[in-house]
Chain A
């Protein structure tokens, strides 16, 4: 927050000003840009923000600006809501979930921007609440679909210690579209220039140098000292504090009072509020304000008054007696209570608290907590609840014990919601110690939930058992506890125990359970059965859960049930195509009811990933596109962006891949370590198609330092990419990095050991990657051996994943052709790989294949004629347009009179999956028999 109005000249910042403008125009692949200006207080950050905004306003930019507050417990999204208000745009802040709220804010911003770019200026970002930081990342990732450039100022002092922005900035620095500009103090020359300009005459070099020495080149202080010099005032003090205290003493008494009042206020302070706080007759008040402005302490605009610089407020804070400060805060609180307009609970709470009237602060604090929760600002809400607890401590006279119990409950839950698990547990302990605490069973249940969320599985398990054994455990609570416990045990890989508890829960749930419990218990039972090698039984249980959820119709039940079924099918059962069908069906069901946005997004992500694996990329593309239309945020958005960039990398769409990877990286700057590896793997994959082996190597090597030893599958993909990068470097005639190679070999050894202990379905995937690794290694070592590639192709064929299979065939053919051995088989393999690559749309892979074909004078054409072409884009008026590509294929086969079994063999899918497809086709075409369906197909075709 800085000085405004009658500024001195801008010295020594011309270059920076030009840079800022060009950075803000220079948007990255995602269409967004950001500049963070850091520097100490008074170094001229706000001034620079203002000048930049003025320069860009009208030049194709719509400008919105807001300032974060330092009252520590401001309301969520404060600076952005303030910016919108300044634009006379009040936001309806009621939304279904946090993501919907972000979407709503974006829509508002989009409207304001119109056809221009939006420049969002945020001052004092170090005080931003968590919600604002999340919104910022959401916008910068391009998820809000706003063409936005963000310009923000951050006080360097605040970045010491543990400030959350530290990490965010460190992560964002990697991106091309984000710049961090460190604003340095003026140097000696620049200080002289500024002093001369303000003094409006030639200043003796010694004088200017003295100013430099005393100010350390801080422009704000330089200006003040230069004015002293001009006015012939002799100042001996060296500290900022003394400089300002001397100056404030010169103010008329009433103006002094105005300045003191503003220092205690939350800026901007509206005139009616100030009038009630200062309590002067109108004429005298106006005169006092005018004097404070004339002495350059205060500035005013349409919104109210503020001090020219927050530094002044900080100096004054130490000067005001505690009793004086309390009185001022009380007057503020009283003034705010009588002033018309919506109550600003956070601001009111701030003043009452500092007025030393905890009892009066309490209602505002509670109101502020509730309003923060309604904006999904759980971190802010939690701070308010904590404050409320402090205000009602047992040692506080007149505190209401019943209210305290209630507050503790809220505080524990909000801490849990915002991820403060330790605090949640501490609050819960305090709650448990109270006379009017909730029942024993409920306490154990809550404790278990918090412990599980904190990743402490063992104590969580104990707590669930205690809950089950508690004397006050009702049948309903018993179902809940058993279902949760079964879920926990499943995550711990203890399938037999999970199975037992899930059975117990289901038995009880038949009479006493809620649908949520039923679904949870069924899922645990289903997965544990599947892992214990009884997949059909497991599948049956979860299918039943889906039916129950369909009957209840509650979005959470539906979402969770479909999610479990889809995960079971695409995961352990490797029945990907059917899993994809289930996921899409679930998303449709929810969409038709207009509910469960988050679940729809997750289901579509599963479908998209499954379609990618089975090589139906065009379909995957459209599913992911649909999912993105739900405007996901947070981890959901990261999943989708990564899924989509996987597709872009495969298609060879470099710019799109970069855009999505940058967007994912932006979101990850806010936290989320488990997505870092897939992101690095994709970066490596992209770099390899670009022949940038060094970049690929760097990404993989960084990934190797961040892989958990139990992330075996992720590690497998990463190691394959690493070895492939070395192999391609070698093939391209550049050097193999021996250190990197040694480390990759170590990782492969680790993988081999790990695979031995992994569950069978995990093992199957790891084996696929181990075969690829072994094959790449033979390439790195120039062994010219086609065998490892043949094995790799075979294992991926078995897993029905055409992309890695086609890649393996390419390499196999390359080696075989080079050795002039079994040319016919090699040519056939190459053609098959080419057909697969073309069918998927995998252009970079197809190009590599063409390159190899040219090198060995192999014609791909013969086979290319019979390439199964991707189904033609449906005519919009076509009756078959409602069907997916796969459904059209199935229908075509039905029309040829094939049986389900024959169709399954033709399309490499299970008979059951064909049945599911047919069910959907019948639904969509509204027919009931194969004959009717065939007729529709033949008429349309």
Chain B
């Protein structure tokens, strides 16, 4: 490490990232600890893009945990694993970034590199994080979870139902993601990756949530083939990085 990436909170960050949370309460705990530390990252303190995303993610995960306790999911074992597996990828990305490792996915590096500024807005930052997390991390987290449980990702299954519920939580918690903004988003994303057919199926979160599930099914089929898997990962990282760049560019200001 040539210079500490996280400045004065470097050692706190490293210490937090030493932990590998293995159940949902522990994930919530870890996110809460991260929130404290992220709010001390200079120069913007309370308002850096990652803190914005982390705050949103913490709220969402707390919501998921409440629903787990309330028995709202059909297959909680699946959902708990998915939540842990999902979060682990965010923590991994942070860990790679902390170690200046080239292994940090591009989708995340784009957001992390914006922490020192210039002045990003909370909504696009949070959404950029959601983008990296859902468009890149989620399909892999899904596949690992299914692999562990020994079941297949099947449309209409209990697991699919639960998965969609999580996405409802995401949709509820992203304050600005209302229909009014969506027309403009649509335009942007169309020009970006041209997946028009997918896009027209619905609004932003619905769009990404189906894409993540479908991508998971795609990866599921090739998960034993290292080369095909790597290709798929690069493809997803490219798409998510591009989308993230766009979200963090001045272009996205009109979303606010």
**Residues on A close to B: CB < 8 A?**
40, 72, 156-157, 160-164, 166-167, 170-171, 173-174, 184, 187-188, 379, 383, 419-423, 454-456, 671-674, 676, 698, 701-702, 704-709, 743, 746-747, 750
Contacts and interface: CB of A to CB of B under 8 A. Distances in A.
A454 B151 CA distance: 7
24 contacts: A72-B225, A72-B226, A160-B233, A161-B140, A161-B230, A162-B229, A164-B144, A166-B88, A166-B144, A167-B144, A167-B145, A170-B22, A170-B88, A188-B2, A379-B224, A422-B154, A456-B154, A671-B150, A676-B77, A705-B69, A705-B76, A706-B68, A708-B74, A746-B69
A743 B144 contact: no
B81 interface: yes
A707 B233 contact: no
Given A161-B233, A170-B88, A708-B75, A673 B154 contact: no
B170 interface: no
Contacts of B65: 705
Nearest to A746: B70
Nearest to B83: A705
B152 A162 contact: no
Contacts of A166: 85, 88, 144
A467 to B, nearest CB: 22
Interface string B215-256: 000011101111001100100000000000000000000000
B214 interface: no
B103 A40 contact: yes
Nearest to A380: B224
Contacts of B149: 671, 673
B1 A705 contact: no
Main secondary structure on B side of the interface with A: helix
A40 B65 CA distance: 34
Contact of A707 (B2, B76, B99, B148): B76
Interface string B120-156: 0000000000000000000010011101111110100
Contacts of A706: 23, 68, 76-77, 80
A750 B69 CA distance: 11
Nearest to A419: B150
Nearest to B229: A161
B78 A673 contact: yes
Interface in B90-106: 99, 101, 103
Contact of B147 (A40, A162, A674, A701): A162
Contacts of A173: 20, 22
A187 B147 CA distance: 37
Given A422-B220, A455-B151, A455-B157, 10 more contacts: A40-B101, A166-B88, A167-B147, A167-B148, A173-B22, A184-B99, A188-B2, A676-B77, A705-B68, A747-B71
Nearest to A180: B20
B84 interface: yes
B117 interface: no
A87 B74 CA distance: 51
Interface of B: 1-2, 20, 22-25, 65, 68-71, 74-78, 80-81, 84-85, 88, 99, 101, 103, 140, 143-145, 147-152, 154, 157, 219-221, 223-226, 229-230, 233
A702 B77 contact: no
Contacts of A705: 23-25, 65, 68-69, 76, 80
Contacts of B71: 707, 709, 746-747, 750
Q: Lowest 3 CB-CB distances: which A-B pairs, in order? A: A673-B77, A705-B68, A162-B143
Contacts of A188: 2
Contacts of B220: 422
B19 to A, nearest CB: 10
A713 to B, nearest CB: 15
Contacts of B20: 170, 173
A311 to B, nearest CB: 15
Contacts of A750: 71
Nearest to B224: A383
Contacts of A456: 154, 157
A698 B23 CA distance: 10
B68 A704 contact: yes
Nearest to B18: A182
A177 B74 CA distance: 34
B155 to A, nearest CB: 11
- Residue among A156, A162, A166, A743 having the largest count of chain B Cβ atoms under 10 Å: A162
A707 B69 CA distance: 9
Given A187-B1, A454-B154, A162 B69 contact: no
A168 to B, nearest CB: 8
Nearest to B232: A161
B92 to A, nearest CB: 8
A167 B85 contact: yes
Nearest to B101: A40
B23 to A, nearest CB: 5
A660 to B, nearest CB: 20
B103 A157 contact: yes
A778 to B, nearest CB: 23
Nearest to A740: B69
Contacts of B221: 422-423
Contacts of A156: 103
Contacts of A174: 22
A310 to B, nearest CB: 14
B147 to A, nearest CB: 6
Contacts of A671: 147-150
A217 to B, nearest CB: 9
A167 B2 CA distance: 32
A390 to B, nearest CB: 11
Nearest to A184: B99
Contact of B140 (A162, A171, A379): A162
B90 to A, nearest CB: 14
A454 B81 CA distance: 19
Contacts of B22: 170-171, 173-174
Contacts of B70: 746
A162 B144 contact: yes
Contacts of B99: 184
- Residue among A171, A383, A673, A676 having the largest count of chain B Cβ atoms under 10 Å: A673
A72 to B, nearest CB: 6
Contacts of B150: 419, 671-672
Contacts of B154: 422, 454, 456
Contacts of A704: 68-69
A171 B20 CA distance: 10
Contacts of B88: 166, 170
Contacts of A673: 77-78, 81, 148-149
B25 A701 contact: yes
A184 B74 CA distance: 41
A118 B150 CA distance: 32
Contacts of A746: 69-71
A419 B81 CA distance: 19
A238 B101 CA distance: 16
Contacts of B84: 170
Nearest to B146: A162
B3 to A, nearest CB: 11
Contacts of A167: 81, 85, 144-145, 147-148
Nearest to A744: B69
Nearest to A673: B77
A632 B230 CA distance: 37
Nearest to A127: B226
Contacts of B145: 167
A704 B219 CA distance: 31
A422 B154 CA distance: 8
A709 B103 contact: no
A456 B88 CA distance: 30
A423 B220 CA distance: 10
Contacts of A184: 99
- Residue among B101, B145, B152 having the largest count of chain A Cβ atoms under 10 Å: B152
Contacts of A383: 224
- Residue among B101, B148, B230 having the largest count of chain A Cβ atoms under 10 Å: B148
A162 B81 CA distance: 14
